[in-house]
Amino acid sequence: MVYRQTENTLAKKAGTRARILKEARMLVSRGGFNAAAVAPVAKHSGIATGTIYRHFPSKAELVAEVFKHATEHELSAVVAATQIDAPAVERLKRGVETFSIRALKAPRLAYALIAEPVDPLVEKERLSYRLAYAEAFEDLINDGIRSEEFVPQSASVTSAALVGMLAEALVGPLSPHALTDDPEADVQPLDEKEQQDLLDDIVALALRVVGAKH
């Protein structure tokens, strides 16, 4: 009986934690990390403010966990795109397109993950995941060098530059959604043609970065 009670308690705590993270991420997607203050997260989660602190000692730790979960989701999508059974050039295009399209579909969240000023604890997580993205592209670039699709180069340097390029190329198109204090403001996203033109430009630049031969 004691074991069953403990099991139920742990399941309830895990469920509460998951609900907190879900609601916090939703608030971030609407208003950036500043919107994920403890009080509104508690209100949207249907729990008392003090309950938040049982799971996360501070807002910084809550936001860092939201960042981690959101970025892991995005990173997994990009890694999967770069690991398809295809030539390195096609894998690079898929990875770059996946990163860019997902960002454009959720501009406020993407801006928060890529460029929003954050607490040092969150910035540490951001750096960690930039390195993870770079590692995924580094493996791909090394494959392209071996298959002679890309010119010889330092794959580690190029992959880091590629991740930085993707972030910088998207910050401008994403920023209108972040520079308004009103999450309901009528900020128009890029239309279909504008998005496609941007994607084409980013992919073309990525291919130049790696020195694609074809």
Query: Is residue 173 in a domain?
Result: yes
Q: For residue range 153-179, what is the model confidence (pLDDT) as tens digits? A: 999 999 999 999 999 999 988 886 655
Query: Is residue 10 in a domain?
Result: no
Report the alpha-carbon distance of residue 209 to residue 214 in Å, rounded: 13
Number of domains in the chain: 1
Query: Is residue 42 in a domain?
Result: no
- pTM equals 0.85
Q: Is the pLDDT of residue 152 over 60?
A: yes
Q: Is the pLDDT of residue 8 over 80?
A: no
The pLDDT of residue 165 is: 96
Q: Is the pLDDT of residue 130 over 80?
A: yes
**29-57: average pLDDT:** 90
Go through the chain and tell me how many residues it has: 214
Tell me the CATH number at 205: 1.10.357.10
- Name residue 72's amino acid: E
Query: Is residue 44 in a domain?
Result: no
Query: Is residue 131 in a domain?
Result: yes
Report the alpha-carbon distance of residue 16 to residue 169 in Å, rounded: 38
Report the alpha-carbon distance of residue 69 to residue 8 in Å, rounded: 24
Residue ranges of alpha helices (H) inside 83-174 are: 88-105, 107-114, 120-146, 155-174
Query: Is residue 108 in a domain?
Result: yes
Query: Is residue 115 in a domain?
Result: yes
Domain span at residue 143 reads 60-210
Query: Is residue 2 in a domain?
Result: no
